[in-house]
Every structure is written in structure tokens, then in C-alpha cells.
Homo-oligomer: A and B are copies of this chain.
């Protein structure tokens, strides 16, 4: 391997960048692409990078890795922990951390590209490697599509992608059908009337309005959604006021809604809005709440046939024990925009980054939730090995499964498989 993947990962981890600000990350990527002698373009969807390996006739396989980090203050205590800060869209200075593993996604992608590039005689077709910005805003894939990525590069026959997750390192898994939930991000501004903290009767207190709203929103999941169906209403942020003795004029909430399919969307949105408006009315608000859609992500649905085919390929490559059913994830992704817009199948999978012994101990002790930091936690810290290697290999095996055979094998069968997968 020409690229020192461990050093690359540590460098990316130390220098996380917020969504649509991944300029240093893009620079690292293009330097390596240049070293590998690959064709690429920058600035797709603002900060995205797309590389292409053309290798004769055959299927076009898109591989996707996302690049952005999160406004989280790292608390892992790692020697290479991030101390970076950034400016969020509101202009606030915030800590930044790769708390979702996108640094590992980029690392694995570059490793896979080196491997695939070095083994061109073993496969045929075209690889399009998509380094996507702003997945955390649910906006990067759409931005690349809007920027013409599907027209400016060979259109995919299949889209593949992977995500690091708190499974034991070495494990890889996908499930057919809904793999990840749909999600909407909504900002809400509640309007009260400000005044002195000692004169509540001359104000309309937006802090109490916001608190009552948060408590009432719990009932959407607890009382209004069928207990057998998945639904999440998270208020991820609440902000009001600057000082203990000033009752502010406004409060801001940011909500994340999760649901399993497009049909559930209208219901959950209507319920959330009904409650927020009624709680404003309960406070006697003189102005209606204002709602802003920050993003809306469709469910991530894996193609049944392609998923089955890929799991079989991994089983052969890594052993059946290494291939798991990760279950449906309540988290969300924007990777499916590429496949939805192109009308082609998608497989999106997970691979593990937790020390297997630590995982086994937590499982035995019933302390998975307490002991194993999840994505977005300030303690999220994948072990480097074999996480890096398995990420590279999972992507390489997947790409090869859907590319044509090389000189020694026939392309026709592979193409047929792709066609079938898309059915």
C-alpha cells in the first residue's frame, strides 16, 4: 500500500471540518488521488470531489464516502483527539470532531481506490468514487446532484456506500429493504414577550412555552404512534435567553423526526405542528411559531437482490461469521439521493469499529448502551485495526462483485447480475 492509511486516518481525525467546509479534507483527498494517478474533479456540490477509474467496458459502480464532521467537543482522551473549532451556520464558534466516523469512510475509500487501481487486470468497467460533503446536514448528496454529478460523470448501474458503526471490528452487515429511517430536521422559533425577570406577569415567558412544548412532544411517540412502528421525535437543541434576570422574547428548538417510510411523514409532521401551535396558544403567544425545514432525508432502502449477492460475497471473503444482520437503523442518510435520482439499486452497509473484546464484555454485562459510545458521542473512538483494513476490503469486495470480470473471465454474467439487482 502506497498510502499510510493509519497516518491518513489520524490526520483526518485531527482536522475535522464542518459540513460544506471540508476544504482541507478535499485537499488531502486530491493529493492522494494525484499520487495514485487518478482522474478527478473538485468543487462538486461546493466541496465534493469525484474520482473516476475507467477500465474498459462493463458496469459503472459508484462508491460513496462522506467527509464532514460534527460540532461536538471530543472527550475521547486520545493522543490524536481533535481540538479543532469551527464556525457553524449561525456564526457561532463551536468545537468540531469526527464523531461519526467519516474520517474512516474517507480513509477506507482511498485504500480501496489504491487496491482497485492496482488490480485493474482483474476487473473491467468504471468506478466512480464520490467524496461527498455535508452528509450531517442531509444536504451534500442533493447539492452534488444539483451540481450535475449524474451528468458530468458516467451514470451508475449501482450505488454502494458504507458507514462505520459500533459493531465489533471485523463485522460487516446489511439488510434488504429499509436499512435506515427517513428523517426531517425542523427549526422552530417560539415567540413570547420579553421583560424583566422579576416581572413575569408583564411578559409571555418563552422558556416555559418551550419547556411545555418539549414535554408535550413526547406524547407523539408515547401516545400517537402505533407502538409496533418506529418513530422518533428528538428535540436536539433548545436555546432561549442570555441572562438569568431577563425573560427573553423568543425560544428556538431544533427537532429531528424519524420514521420508517414516506407514508408516516405527513402524520408525524401534522402532530408535531399541532402540539407546537397549541402550546404557543396555551401561553397566550401573540405571534404564531415559525417552522423552517432544515432537511428532509428519504428512507435508505437496500435493493433486495443486490444485498443478498453482496452478503454472499463478503461471506466468501471474510467468513460467514463476519457477516451480520445489523437490523434497521433509526438514523438517516442522504446517500440514497444518488440512486433515487439515477433510478438504480443501492446497497448501503455498516462495518464495525469497536474492540471485539470490549464489545463482548459489554454484551455479557448488559452494558452496551453505557459502555460502547455511539456515533455522535464525544467519546466515539474506533480502534484503528482491523477497522481500517475491513473498511478497505468491504468496499473493494463490493465494488468487484458488481464490476465486470477481468481479462480471464466473462463480463456478461456480472452485467446480468446488475440488471437483476435493479429489478
Asked if B226 and A236 sit within 8 Å, CB to CB, the answer is no
Minimum C-beta distance from A398 to chain B (A): 24
Residues of B within 8 A of A91 (CB): 93
What residue of chain B has the Cβ atom nearest to residue A196's Cβ? Answer: B376
Asked if B330 and A198 sit within 8 Å, CB to CB, the answer is yes
Known: A216-B212, A242-B94. A232 touches B197 (CB 8 A): yes
Q: Which of A196, A224, A249 has the most CB of B within 10 A?
A: A196
Residues of B within 8 A of A241 (CB): 235-239, 254
Interface string of A7-49 (1 = CB under 8 A from B): 0000000000000000000000000000000000000000000
Minimum C-beta distance from A58 to chain B (A): 37
What residue of chain B has the Cβ atom nearest to residue A92's Cβ? Answer: B92
B-contacting residues, A75-96, CB 8 Å:
88, 91-94
Asked if A230 and B227 sit within 8 Å, CB to CB, the answer is yes
Which among B199, B218, B227, B236 is the interface contact of A218 at CB below 8 angstroms? B218
A375 proximal to B (CB < 8 A): yes
Is chain A's interface secondary structure helix, strand, loop, or mixed overall?
Answer: mixed
How many chain A residues sit at the interface, stated as a range, is 35 or more
Q: What's the Cα separation between A196 and B70 when bound, in Å?
A: 11
Q: Which of A93, A202, A239, A254 has the most CB of B within 10 A?
A: A202
Q: What's the Cα separation between A72 and B249 when bound, in Å?
A: 10
Which 6 pairs, one residue from A and one from B, show the smallest C-beta to C-beta distance?
Answer: A237-B241, A278-B282, A211-B214, A244-B254, A198-B330, A218-B222
Interface, chain A (partner B; CB < 8 A): 70-72, 88, 91-94, 136, 181, 183, 185-187, 193-203, 205, 207-208, 210-216, 218-228, 230-249, 251, 254-256, 258, 271, 274-275, 277-279, 281-284, 294, 327-332, 369, 373-378
